[in-house]
Structure 1
Amino acid sequence: MNDETTNGARYVGARVPRVEDPRLLTGHGTYVDDVARPGTLHACFVRSPLARAAIGGVDASEALALEGVVAVFTAEDLNPGVHEQWYTLIGRDVADTPRPQLAEGEVRFVGDPVALVVAEDRYIAEDAAELVFVDYEPLPPVADYTTARESGELVHDGFPRNVACELAGLPVEDLPVFEEAAFTVRETIHQQAYAAVPMETRGIVAQWSPVTGEMDIWASTQSPHEVRLFCARLLGIDENRVRVVMRDTGGGFGQKVLPMREEICVMLAAPKVPGPLKWIEDRRENLLAAGQARHEHADARIAFDADGTMLATAIDYVQDVGAYPIPAPLNTCAVVGILFPGPYRVPQGTFATTGVFSNTVGRTAYRGPWQFESVAREVLLDISAREMGMDPAELRRRNLLRRDEFPYTNHNGMPYSDVTPLETFEQALEMLDYDAFRAEQARARAEGRYLGVGTCTYVEPTTDSLTLHATEGATIRIEPSGKVNVYVSGGSSGNSIETTVVQLTADALGVDIADVNTIQGDTAITPFGGGTGGSRSGSMTAGAIEVTAAILKERIAEIAAHRLEVSASDIEVAGGQASVRGKPESGIPLAEIAAIAYFQPETLPPGVPPGLEASGRYRAQSPVIWANATHLCTCEVDVETGAVKLLRFIVSEDCGPMINPTVVEGQIAGGAVQGIGGALYEHLAYDEDGNPVSTTFMDYLLPTATEVPVIEYGHVETPGPGPGGYKGVGEGGAIGAPPAVVNAVADALAPFGGRITRLPVTPESIVNLVREARAREEAAG
């Protein structure tokens, strides 16, 4: 533990055990449902059983007559209570889509909340919800987003053709390269809807004090300060009268970045009931109403010269935003178009993107919301390689950008820097021994076995300085004992920010890691921060700690220099003491300096304030910090049953210097498993009438340890522009895994021809592809 790491730091860069683990692994974590307040009441929602219907009326009389029921709220009770409803992350002036708290006039998806029942316990609330009568007049639903623009029905009045947002570059017809190139490959690629499925579902406890006009909230959230600001605006009260506490959050993956309609209802209802109000989402509700992601398709094309050099790319991208998307969908729509063609050297291109409403659950943020850009590009590259008779690895090798080509601006004007696409690609191939695998594949095919290999190389934006969450704060207090408390907005949502904060602070102040404690997730005592999202936590928190620790180190040096009668510039703060540089024996322990600062202010040098507490705020130094990786997957496909067995899964990641390699690899693994699930198993499906058909884990399939191979890691470290050179790593695993898996399966099935252009890749789709290939062979004689 005390050995210095390769960068000279004592803890940063080391595999320090997670400080969260002792409580979480022994069942001593505190989640929202563990919060018990005296007199707590419980909420349950009455939800629409129809995808689209007019609401003729709501009769709650029978529910209200049930013993233990406190109230039943409908749209007319809660919706008028809204003062302002916008998200700090997005901004006040950004165009948004309709979002009533409770359905008003019309329900727009199965699961749409119509009424909120409040009772003395959850069981009574659920019983009462079944007694609320809603008069529904069925209306034709817009169930299929792919035909919604041609439908005569509208999900929302005021949005013609059901278009929520549009953005386009140059018309593809104005690029003659696609007609003139030696090869132009074009395909429409579809990705199914799937969901975040956090281990802990959504939940909130809201307690209103009518005496003080204050709201206390305990929330399962990724951003407690966002919840605080949103609630203050919602209720029209000052933000210093709202306190939000998050303890442990059992995963969020984007679903818990922003308050959603149910949490908003609880905030609005809490001042109207005589006790704290708790709502805990059950699993069926989570799959029914917590949001969808990834439901999208694109008409994508790539033009090549005769040698396989990419000349141009174009993508016409369409995403399903459901009925009530959160947040407004334009950003992710735009990023998919602007990032295409990813980390490749392409001189020309264009894009068009469209978000379309449907009568299904609203689209929400999910780990790498622009992930489809990599799916479309990488799947199309493999198809292109097979059409041109070229190995997919060689095609990529000719076109991937190298480290020495950055900074580089793609044809859409997106500037990239500090990334290593070709280098991670080569490292992944070397870890596999690509040539040896191809030889093994040939032998297996001769034996009637079908092995495949697929890759995905991508770049992803992490921290940025362009949004309202472009700063992050920290407060560090060295106690009179010399122990250290560091306060950041943070919170434990699975990204190990507690551990990395302790590592960063221990090194920044030169103290033993055992002497550092972190306090996070309570808006009453932590500085404002953007929370966990967009792969921002590591680099932004590192910056905030660096800025704040520098203030304290200067103060410590001044105190020590005054005591030792030397210049402050001669003082070194390290090893838990301040000493004259090169003379550690002269050191004054940090505890002694703290005692001077707190208890002997008259002995402090002129201009040095008493105490050892400081706050600082960091702003990202670059418009975007980029990370990149290559995912490589090998598999074996049983062509008779369609079963896919993943053999190896390799990730070469460049997220800059690693604060904690174990944490980095854990983030990669978690995202990769979610991506594997999206490629092969998960499907948030609806029937043609807009009815969800996968609202339990019997129908919504998740990968388990049985289906996922051991993940192998390679690392390339290119420093980013921020403090320590740290980049984000939280989302990349979920971006790179799906196309790598799809391409591996397609490669295994290459002898049968056909193209895999629709996810998930199910056993049925594989068997059908093989059956069709054999039928073509028979027909050809």
Structure 2
Amino acid sequence: MTDLKAGAARYAGARVHRVEDPRLLTGHGTFVDDVVRPGMLHACFVRSPVARARITAVDASEALALDGVHAVFFAEDLNPDVRESWYTLLGRDVPDTPRPALADGEVRFAGDPVALVVARDRYVAEDAADLVEIDYEALPPVVDYATAGESAESVHPEHPGNVAGALDGRPAEELAPVFDGAAHVVAATIHQQAYVPVPMETRGLVAEWSAADGELTIWASTQAPHEVRLFCSRLLGLPEHKVRVIMRDTGGGFGQKVIPMREDMCLLLAARKLPAAVKWIEDRRENLLSAGQARHEHGHARMAFDDDGRILAAALDYVQDAGAYPSPSPLFSAAAVGMLFPGPYRIPQSTFSVRSMFSNTTGRTAYRGPWQFESVAREVLLDRAARQLGVDPVELRRRNLLRHDEMPFVNPNGMPYSDMTPLETFEHALEILDYPAFRKEQEQGRAQGRYLGVGTCSYVEPTASALGPHATEGATIRIEPSGTVNVYVSGGSTGNSLETTTVQLTADALGVDIADVNTIQGDTAVTPFGGGTGGSRSGSMIAGAIAETATTLRDRVIAIAAHRLEAAVDDIELAASRATVRGVPESGISLADIAALAYFQVDALPPGVPAGLEASARYRAQAPMIWTNATHVSTCEVDVVTGHVRLLRHIVSEDCGPMINPNVVEGQIAGGTVQGIGGALLEHLAYDEDGNPVSTTFMDYLLPTSAEVPDIEYGHVESPGPGPGGYKGVGEGGAIGAPPAVVNAVADALAPFGVEIGRLPLTPATIVALIEEAR
């Protein structure tokens, strides 16, 4: 990163107020539903009411006769227009799963889109959707992914055994002697329920086709506007420059909005057949019904220990539910579960097997830390091991956690860890809690009939990577003639404050006042290509792109200032939007005056310095992977009569390197942590035995509120990463670490009853049943 002169680095690391907050908090944001186009039409989907059936007949005549209805599209109207439908994230040649725009011949889950109705407004479109007649011939559904491999039925005939993907690590028989000869072997099968991102803003799209010039403009609620542009270009066979994607404000994504899904495909395909723009805004029921599931999975985990409680080997057999139409291919997250199962521990040998299985339920999608189950299985197993070995779970972890001075370290599955502090963050979190004091309080509580518990989770999180199609990020910085600095980056900000991050980093890199910096994001017509928000990559990648770009501009500004002030280049300092001579602060020139020279007095520029103050550059990640790590510590009290869990404290000690903005970092941790708490205790996207969803409203799908979540306490351990500024990712960790910590806290509270937890969520009814079974 550019070497900043003394006094220039003022903003990175500071709790700068978010620049987007005035707009958002006063209700002046622009979301997709705020977009209005001339003569705009509205879309509504007709969805399958059953999990699996053959479509035998369709009739849209009554719907088309309704005043205000413009069109009703079926599979034969849209699907043949698909040119290509692969994602940049995966690449053209990676095996993928089926992805028709509309159900063709057979519906494969309750909520499967069968027809697209377009009308003058949403109300008419919904009325018309009710009038579309579709005849179904019921077929036996494959509802339980865990038994899908033995089913005589196929979700997709081209995938025998309902296997969406599979991968095996080291042959299990090679580790058999280690497990057979170990002093202790502990095993557990852990089941995690399906739950979902539930962004505040549901999915949405506006597509406007201009037949005169063959251009398509898209307003999207997305995490990756350039991915939408590339996907649309391939889908429709349009040149890239004929597709423009505009992303303004997006009310949360959490992985669900990284890539276009089937409904988005339908809107894009239909747009060229319509005389005006068409808008689709998903309602909440649709979101819970068909926007995708996550977390539905189970695994059999084993660990071998020596007499001192040190881990000798670990193994995980993992199976996940892919649903009917996963997006993208689910094998990548499944493979990550296996590869990361050893976590931040000193484990010499390990193996895994992973299977992704189709079912007649909504498709699996990415959700904040898609590989999160590896931490659930490992950390729950470690607490169970501690109880069996008669060792405090904290002490067991101390014997096995990696230290900072052991980095770099290659885990037994080949993952190259670096720049992490697992033991250090663990001890820091326990210090914040005062672990010995809590154990005393717990002992006193049990004597009074109160059941308190404490649980921990330590994990590693892969963030920005030098591998794959998103290993680079671009930026353009223009110092305008007025001296104002405009920074253009891809964007994808969905509540993660990329606007504020970009402004802070640019102000420091150029030595300008933060009030003089603006950022333009989310418009593919003017911003450089970028991979968007996903995989906790944005902070470090944007930092690299800004550093690369600002270096060129900074050198040009300094050269102009030195020439004008008749000083040596090495003596020029930039701060507060002004260039001064070191040691002579009264000798200076403002950035506005430098810009005026660059644009309007080019004859006064020094030799070799081009006119204007604009630069573009791309940053390429240098390390194979940037690693973040953290420890969550949760304490709770369980009412053993009602099964109610009251969380007392939740502590997160995180090492995400130096923090660009602690407010933003802690906001990201808090959001993920609350989602993880919901997954541990409340949320469940449930289906009945016939494949009917039974939790498609917030009356049935329970979310955590402020009443269920304690104040989250933060600790920060900073070890620089290998990227510019030492910054690491932080976006997904809260959702990874919170569920195991909460589960272990509940298990610890119920330890006097001999309760062991193997299935989530931990609803009051579940906890009461566990206690009764143990008794």
TM-score w.r.t. length of structure 2: 0.98
Paired AA for residue 721 in structure 1: P
Paired AA for residue 569 in structure 1: D
Report the CA distance between 1:368 and its aligned residue: 0.3
Q: Matches of 1:241 and 1:581 in 2, distance apart?
A: 50
Residue 158 of structure 2 is matched in structure 1 by 158
Matched, 1:140 2:140: yes
Matched, 1:715 2:716: yes
Q: What are structure 2's unaligned runs of at least 5 residues?
A: none
Residue 778 of structure 1 is matched in structure 2 by none
Matched, 1:78 2:78: yes
Tell me, yes or no, if the aligned pair for 2:640 and 2:768 is still in contact at 8 Å: yes
Paired AA for residue 197 in structure 1: V
Q: Matches of 1:444 and 1:433 in 2, distance apart?
A: 17
Residues 533-572 of structure 1 correspond to what in structure 2 (within 5 A)? 533-572=534-573
Q: Matches of 1:369 and 1:623 in 2, distance apart?
A: 19
Residue 729 of structure 1 is matched in structure 2 by 730
Residue 777 of structure 1 is matched in structure 2 by none
Report the CA distance between 1:8 and its aligned residue: 7.3
Paired AA for residue 703 in structure 1: P
Matched, 1:323 2:324: yes
Paired AA for residue 528 in structure 1: F
Paired AA for residue 31 in structure 1: F
Residue 769 of structure 2 is matched in structure 1 by 768
2:691 is paired with a residue whose SS is: coil
**For structure 1, which segment, 730-739 or 484-493, has the greater mean C-alpha deviation from structure 2 after superposition?**
484-493
Paired AA for residue 46 in structure 1: V
Paired AA for residue 425 in structure 1: F
Tell me, yes or no, if the aligned pair for 2:6 and 2:573 is still in contact at 8 Å: no
Paired AA for residue 565 in structure 1: E
Q: Matches of 1:502 and 1:480 in 2, distance apart?
A: 19
2:610 is paired with a residue whose SS is: coil
Q: Matches of 2:552 and 2:744 in 1, distance apart?
A: 51
Provide Cα deviations, 1:163-186, integer angstroms capped at 9, x if missing partner. 010100223232111111010001
2:660 is paired with a residue whose SS is: coil
Q: Matches of 1:763 and 1:167 in 2, distance apart?
A: 37
Residue 407 of structure 2 is matched in structure 1 by 406
Provide Cα deviations, 1:661-681, integer angstroms capped at 9, x if missing partner. 000000000000000000000
Q: Matches of 2:774 and 2:111 in 1, distance apart?
A: 42
User: In structure 2, do the counterparts of structure 1 residues 6 and 771 end up closer, same or farther at CA, with 3 Å as the change threshold?
Assistant: farther
Report the CA distance between 1:561 and its aligned residue: 1.9
2:272 is paired with a residue whose SS is: helix
Report the CA distance between 1:770 and its aligned residue: 1.4
Residue 236 of structure 2 is matched in structure 1 by 235
Report the CA distance between 1:70 and its aligned residue: 0.4
User: In structure 2, do the counterparts of structure 1 residues 162 and 753 end up closer, same or farther at CA, with 3 Å as the change threshold?
Assistant: same
Residue 348 of structure 1 is matched in structure 2 by 349
User: In structure 2, do the counterparts of structure 1 residues 353 and 5 end up closer, same or farther at CA, with 3 Å as the change threshold?
Assistant: farther
1:297 is paired with a residue whose SS is: strand
Tell me, yes or no, if the aligned pair for 1:6 and 1:13 is still in contact at 8 Å: no
Residue 462 of structure 2 is matched in structure 1 by 461
Residue 293 of structure 1 is matched in structure 2 by 294
Matched, 1:480 2:481: yes
Q: Matches of 2:170 and 2:212 in 1, distance apart?
A: 59
Paired AA for residue 64 in structure 2: L
Q: Matches of 1:7 and 1:529 in 2, distance apart?
A: 31
Tell me, yes or no, if the aligned pair for 1:675 and 1:735 is still in contact at 8 Å: yes
Residue 14 of structure 2 is matched in structure 1 by 14
Paired AA for residue 80 in structure 1: P
Residue 129 of structure 1 is matched in structure 2 by 129
Residues 501-580 of structure 1 correspond to what in structure 2 (within 5 A)? 501-580=502-581
User: In structure 2, do the counterparts of structure 1 residues 213 and 432 end up closer, same or farther at CA, with 3 Å as the change threshold?
Assistant: same
Residue 423 of structure 2 is matched in structure 1 by 422
Matched, 1:36 2:16: no
Q: Matches of 1:150 and 1:187 in 2, distance apart?
A: 23
Tell me, yes or no, if the aligned pair for 1:23 and 1:29 is still in contact at 8 Å: yes
Provide Cα deviations, 1:701-745, integer angstroms capped at 9, x if missing partner. 000001000000000000000000000000000000000000000
Tell me, yes or no, if the aligned pair for 1:5 and 1:11 is still in contact at 8 Å: no
Paired AA for residue 90 in structure 1: L
Tell me, yes or no, if the aligned pair for 2:255 and 2:368 is still in contact at 8 Å: yes
Residue 362 of structure 2 is matched in structure 1 by 361
Q: Matches of 2:583 and 2:280 in 1, distance apart?
A: 59
Paired AA for residue 33 in structure 1: D
Paired AA for residue 475 in structure 1: T
1:307 is paired with a residue whose SS is: coil
Report the CA distance between 1:93 and its aligned residue: 1.0
Residue 595 of structure 2 is matched in structure 1 by 594
Paired AA for residue 277 in structure 2: P
2:595 is paired with a residue whose SS is: helix
Tell me, yes or no, if the aligned pair for 2:184 and 2:305 is still in contact at 8 Å: yes
Tell me, yes or no, if the aligned pair for 1:491 and 1:498 is still in contact at 8 Å: no
Residues 299-338 of structure 1 correspond to what in structure 2 (within 5 A)? 299-338=300-339
Provide Cα deviations, 1:132-158, integer angstroms capped at 9, x if missing partner. 111100000000000000000000011
Q: CA RMSD in A?
A: 1.2
1:754 is paired with a residue whose SS is: coil
Residues 154-303 of structure 1 correspond to what in structure 2 (within 5 A)? 154-175=154-175, 176-303=177-304
Residue 779 of structure 1 is matched in structure 2 by none
Matched, 1:624 2:621: no
Q: Matches of 2:653 and 2:84 in 1, distance apart?
A: 45
Report the CA distance between 1:580 and its aligned residue: 2.5
Paired AA for residue 218 in structure 1: W
Provide Cα deviations, 1:625-675, integer angstroms capped at 9, x if missing partner. 000000000000000000000000000000000000000000000000000
Tell me, yes or no, if the aligned pair for 1:453 and 1:745 is still in contact at 8 Å: yes
Tell me, yes or no, if the aligned pair for 1:5 and 1:12 is still in contact at 8 Å: no
Provide Cα deviations, 1:437-470, integer angstroms capped at 9, x if missing partner. 0011000000010000000000010000111111
Tell me, yes or no, if the aligned pair for 1:5 and 1:14 is still in contact at 8 Å: no
Paired AA for residue 145 in structure 1: Y
Q: Matches of 2:340 and 2:214 in 1, distance apart?
A: 47
Q: Matches of 2:256 and 2:5 in 1, distance apart?
A: 36
Tell me, yes or no, if the aligned pair for 2:143 and 2:361 is still in contact at 8 Å: yes
User: In structure 2, do the counterparts of structure 1 residues 600 and 91 end up closer, same or farther at CA, with 3 Å as the change threshold?
Assistant: same
Report the CA distance between 1:480 and its aligned residue: 0.8
Provide Cα deviations, 1:519-562, integer angstroms capped at 9, x if missing partner. 11111111111111110110000001111111101111111122
Paired AA for residue 10 in structure 1: R
Q: Matches of 1:154 and 1:267 in 2, distance apart?
A: 30
2:399 is paired with a residue whose SS is: helix
Matched, 1:667 2:668: yes
Report the CA distance between 1:289 and its aligned residue: 0.2
User: In structure 2, do the counterparts of structure 1 residues 6 and 555 end up closer, same or farther at CA, with 3 Å as the change threshold?
Assistant: closer
Q: Matches of 2:297 and 2:337 in 1, distance apart?
A: 11
Q: Matches of 1:114 and 1:567 in 2, distance apart?
A: 70
Tell me, yes or no, if the aligned pair for 2:298 and 2:320 is still in contact at 8 Å: yes
Provide Cα deviations, 1:286-309, integer angstroms capped at 9, x if missing partner. 000000000000011000001100
Report the CA distance between 1:7 and its aligned residue: 10
User: In structure 2, do the counterparts of structure 1 residues 5 and 68 end up closer, same or farther at CA, with 3 Å as the change threshold?
Assistant: farther
Residue 643 of structure 1 is matched in structure 2 by 644
Provide Cα deviations, 1:280-332, integer angstroms capped at 9, x if missing partner. 00000000000000000001100000110000000011000000000001111
Aligned residues: 771
Q: Matches of 1:558 and 1:147 in 2, distance apart?
A: 69
Tell me, yes or no, if the aligned pair for 1:463 and 1:625 is still in contact at 8 Å: yes
Residue 606 of structure 1 is matched in structure 2 by 607
Report the CA distance between 1:255 and its aligned residue: 0.1
Tell me, yes or no, if the aligned pair for 2:634 and 2:650 is still in contact at 8 Å: yes
2:317 is paired with a residue whose SS is: strand
Tell me, yes or no, if the aligned pair for 1:484 and 1:517 is still in contact at 8 Å: yes
Tell me, yes or no, if the aligned pair for 2:316 and 2:341 is still in contact at 8 Å: yes
Residue 65 of structure 1 is matched in structure 2 by 65
Tell me, yes or no, if the aligned pair for 2:5 and 2:573 is still in contact at 8 Å: no
Tell me, yes or no, if the aligned pair for 1:5 and 1:13 is still in contact at 8 Å: no
Paired AA for residue 162 in structure 2: N
Residue 54 of structure 2 is matched in structure 1 by 54
Report the CA distance between 1:6 and its aligned residue: 13
**For structure 1, which segment, 693-702 or 600-609, has the greater mean C-alpha deviation from structure 2 after superposition?**
600-609
Q: Matches of 1:626 and 1:734 in 2, distance apart?
A: 16
Q: Matches of 2:26 and 2:318 in 1, distance apart?
A: 46
User: In structure 2, do the counterparts of structure 1 residues 773 and 632 end up closer, same or farther at CA, with 3 Å as the change threshold?
Assistant: same
